[in-house]
Structure 1
Amino acid sequence: MNIKIEELLSALNRKEEEKEKNTVLWVLAIIGAVAAVAGIAFAVYHFFAPDYLEDFEEDFDDDFDDYFEDEEE
């Protein structure tokens, strides 16, 4: 009789451990999915967003060159 009770208790313990492992696995899967969606959203935004800084740098370089050309003359 004690053997059957011990078997039932060990089976319950195994199920509890499996539930805990399953919960951790689900939490990690959800975190991974959110991170993947965020990464994709950032990549799409970065690809489609215009680069305003590039235009500014070109204008700055032109002005900078003009300044030094004026001094040499």
Structure 2
Amino acid sequence: MNKVEDFLAALQKKEEEKNKNTVLWILAIIGAVAAVAGIAYAVYRFFTPDYLEDFEEDFDDDFDDYFEDEDDEEE
């Protein structure tokens, strides 16, 4: 009877380890997918041009030209 109990205990321990390994694999896959997504987003942000920066530069140039024209008219 003692050998049967040992055998059942070993089977139960093996099932628990199998469940732990499954959870570990699932978490590893989720982490890998998140890492790849993060890298892809960083590369996208790095290579995407910043159109707002160009707009602000053009606006500043127009704004400065307007005030320079007013200063010339006053003199």
TM-score for both structures, normalised by structure 1? 0.80
After superposing on structure 2, the runs of 4+ consecutive aligned residues of structure 1 that deviate more than 6 Å are none
Q: CA deviation at 1:62?
A: 2.9
Unaligned runs of 5+ in 2: none
Matching of residues 17-56 of structure 1 within 5 Å: 17-56=16-55
Q: Which one has a bigger Cα radius of gyration?
A: 2
Q: Secondary structure at the match of 1:54?
A: helix
CA distance in 2 between partners of 1:10 and 1:43 (Å): 49
Q: CA deviation at 1:43?
A: 1.3
Identity in percent: 79
Q: CA deviation at 1:71?
A: 6.6
Unaligned runs of 5+ in 1: none
Q: How many residues align?
A: 71
CA distance in 2 between partners of 1:22 and 1:38 (Å): 24
Q: Give 2:27's aligned amino acid.
A: L
Match of 1:13 in 2: 12
TM-score for both structures, normalised by structure 2? 0.79
* Cα RMSD, aligned residues only: 1.8
